[in-house]
Structure 1
Amino acid sequence: MTQPTETTGRMKRSPDHEDEILDVRGHRDPDRNRLTPVVQLPPQTALTVVDALSGLVRAAHREEGERPTPAGEPKRAQVFEEGDVFMLEPPFPGFFADRYLMDFYDTAARDICSRMHLHTGLRFVRMMTGPDTTIRVSSLSPITVRPSTGRFAPLSCFADDLPGTPDGVRRERHNVIVPPNSWVDMQIPRGVSHQFNAVGPNAVIDSVHPEESIETLREGMSGYRMMAQTIFLAKDRSPAATCADTGAPETPPPR
């Protein structure tokens, strides 16, 4: 099994820059993401779960609009490229982790894909879909799909070309499709590229950042923001057509 590569020192040129770009030509993932199929649910059950969690995010954003967070305090309702976010559980002294919920944007409705990116700390992500919705998970390295512990239909796994690369540069992108009414877990090592795009209205992420406060200290940030530890691997976002393909269902997943 590939052992994780520790990234030492500061990974960002400017710790407070929320849109820092890393040249995709030189990036090599130090490890691979690992995806575990968890469970597939009846459509109405899946929709109930997704609606309940995304409802918390929407309520938090309404609250932020009505009563903005005072200056100097962490804003718990934030916006990511993939969706609106609510920091459900903030870190505190002695517990260097936070947890957030993300209400996915519908890529098809917005006609835009989120960018490939990496983080300066590791992540644990649970992705949940409801009816008529898939999530395309992508990386510049093959994604290890672990065996399911229960009944789970085979996942569609395929490779294509990363869009938006500089002229004359080709980077292979590896993709796994999370089907409707499904839960999957994903372990994202520090510094490993990844990209999430939901197609459909019913998708949510429950994510834990076990190194969030440590990152804040390591990066020398002047304030606590969930976005600040993200480094993008593309300058611009691409049209929805570049992340809408779901590949061939019979494609075997990498192990």
Structure 2
Amino acid sequence: MTLGTETTGRMKRSPDVEDEVLDVTHHQDPGRNRLTPVVQLPSDAALAVVDALAGLVRSAHRREEAGPAPAGTLKQAQVFEEGDVFMLEPPFEGFFADRYLMDFYDTADRGICSRMHLHTGLRFVRMMTGPGTTIRVSSLSPITVRPAEGWTDPLSTFTDVLPGTPTGVHRHRHNVIVPPNSWVDMQIPRGVSHQFNAVGPNAVIDSVHPEESIETLREGMSGFRMMAQTIFLAKDKSPAATCADITAPDDSTRA
């Protein structure tokens, strides 16, 4: 199979810029994200898992605060737009993938949404929610949702308008709502837009980056930085009201 330039060439204009923004007006996703419902759990079991994983992130950030990583070394406790992060498994020579845990922020509590973005390498993400918490997953392309066998609280989907676009530019945003006490997996191809926003206090991500070191070399970065090869599709974050809603009454459908 021959890969086109959209999957093999560099994507960033300035590889060391961590807040690079791409004009959303002309961006077209080269593929689609795929979401797989995994399992729904009793609320106490779901909360125990989410709390345990979020606890690892919080402990890592306490260690980083007490003894910051030396300059020039990989900082394993970092802060992303969607939440605090801990690189659980760094890459090593001969193994170019890494894995991180994210303790989601509560979008409603913060009052802002994370931005739509894409990555220069593919991602595999497991999202887990506990009681009273949902995750709104969004993309500029329709998200393929695989069957949810045996789920009592199915995934809902709807389409709305992407906020914060330039004057006169209208882009549709495709949304899937992960309900409370649920695990879902999401496969994110390289260069495909996505956006995560949790509403509620109990949500974590367990994410694997199978080509982190490869994309670092491909994009020409001067040093390895966890998840630095991100390209945003908006300059500013939008108010929480633009991503906290989990239904669209006029055109809501069921996955």
Question: TM-score by structure 2 length?
Answer: 0.95
Aligned to 1:83: 83
Aligned to 1:24: 24
Aligned to 2:239: 239
The question of whether the paired residues in 2 share the 8 Å contact of 1:18 and 1:227 is answered with no
Q: Report 1:209-248 matches (<5 A).
A: 209-247=209-247
RMSD of the alignment, in Å? 1.5
Give the direction of change, closer, same or farther, for the CA distance of 1:37–1:152 in structure 2 (3 Å limit).
farther
Question: For this pair of structures, how many residues does the alignment match?
Answer: 251
The question of whether the paired residues in 2 share the 8 Å contact of 1:7 and 1:190 is answered with yes
Helix, strand or coil at the partner of 2:124: strand
User: How far off its partner does 1:147 sit?
Assistant: 1.1
- Taking the aligned partners of 1:252 and 1:53, their CA distance within structure 2 comes to 30
The question of whether the paired residues in 1 share the 8 Å contact of 2:161 and 2:173 is answered with yes
AA of the residue aligned to 2:254: P
- Taking the aligned partners of 1:172 and 1:203, their CA distance within structure 2 comes to 26
Q: Report 1:129-140 matches (<5 A).
A: 129-140=129-140
Aligned to 1:106: 106
The question of whether the paired residues in 1 share the 8 Å contact of 2:132 and 2:202 is answered with yes
Aligned to 1:252: 254
Aligned to 1:208: 208
User: How far off its partner does 1:190 sit?
Assistant: 0.3
Q: Report 1:48-197 matches (<5 A).
A: 48-197=48-197
AA of the residue aligned to 1:136: R
The question of whether the paired residues in 1 share the 8 Å contact of 2:140 and 2:172 is answered with yes
The question of whether the paired residues in 1 share the 8 Å contact of 2:16 and 2:221 is answered with yes
- Taking the aligned partners of 2:16 and 2:52, their CA distance within structure 1 comes to 33
The question of whether the paired residues in 2 share the 8 Å contact of 1:84 and 1:102 is answered with yes
Helix, strand or coil at the partner of 2:20: coil
The question of whether the paired residues in 1 share the 8 Å contact of 2:154 and 2:179 is answered with no
The question of whether the paired residues in 2 share the 8 Å contact of 1:4 and 1:30 is answered with no
- Taking the aligned partners of 1:18 and 1:136, their CA distance within structure 2 comes to 24
Question: TM-score by structure 1 length?
Answer: 0.95
- Taking the aligned partners of 2:151 and 2:202, their CA distance within structure 1 comes to 22
Give the direction of change, closer, same or farther, for the CA distance of 1:38–1:217 in structure 2 (3 Å limit).
same
The question of whether the paired residues in 2 share the 8 Å contact of 1:134 and 1:200 is answered with yes
Give the direction of change, closer, same or farther, for the CA distance of 1:4–1:57 in structure 2 (3 Å limit).
farther
- Taking the aligned partners of 1:148 and 1:91, their CA distance within structure 2 comes to 33
- Ranges in structure 1 where 5+ consecutive residues have no aligned partner: none
User: How far off its partner does 1:10 sit?
Assistant: 1.1
User: How far off its partner does 1:154 sit?
Assistant: 2.0
- Taking the aligned partners of 2:144 and 2:35, their CA distance within structure 1 comes to 6
The question of whether the paired residues in 1 share the 8 Å contact of 2:37 and 2:183 is answered with yes
- Identity, % of aligned positions: 82
Helix, strand or coil at the partner of 2:64: helix
- Taking the aligned partners of 2:3 and 2:175, their CA distance within structure 1 comes to 21
The question of whether the paired residues in 1 share the 8 Å contact of 2:148 and 2:154 is answered with no
- Taking the aligned partners of 1:102 and 1:228, their CA distance within structure 2 comes to 15
Give the direction of change, closer, same or farther, for the CA distance of 1:185–1:227 in structure 2 (3 Å limit).
same
